[in-house]
Amino acid sequence: AAPPGPPIYVDLAYLPGSWSARTVDEEFFRRIRSLCYVVSGDDHLKEGVLRPLLDALLSGKHQWGIDIQVTLIPTFDSLVMHEWYQETHDRQQELGITVLGSNSTVAMQDETFPACKVEF
């Protein structure tokens, strides 16, 4: 358990992938308050912990008690993410959470990849 203390405010928080994602719970989101959370890790391990992580974001953000817009930036396409988005869309709007979907691509040298631009 984390020691008691005030929340920490940041502009961008990169959420861990694979097995480390299991450490991201409601308490994490209650304490680490970010304008943007990046969810990465397109692998089978992430799929197993993705839904609890996303639900923890909703629960943790609910406890903030202040109105701060939050952007969730997934770096991969996932059925779990799509289902969560559809099932909790109303709750996301109530809490001021926006999920960015990226249909844009960036071409660098001989490679193209999905991308999105985030400005502060």
Of 114, 119, 24, 118, residue with least CA distance to 77: 114
Q: Number of structural domains, the chain?
A: 1
What pLDDT is stored for residue 89 in this prediction?
A: 96
Residue 1 maps to a domain: no
Q: What is the residue range of 31's domain? A: 8-114
Q: Does pTM top 0.85 for this prediction?
A: no
Residue 40 maps to a domain: yes
As a residue count, the chain comes to 120
What pLDDT is stored for residue 43 in this prediction?
A: 60
Each residue's pLDDT, cut to its tens digit, for the chain (120 residues) gives: 556 778 999 999 998 866 677 788 999 999 999 999 998 766 665 677 888 999 999 999 999 988 899 999 888 778 888 899 999 999 999 999 999 876 667 788 888 876 666 666
Residue 2 maps to a domain: no
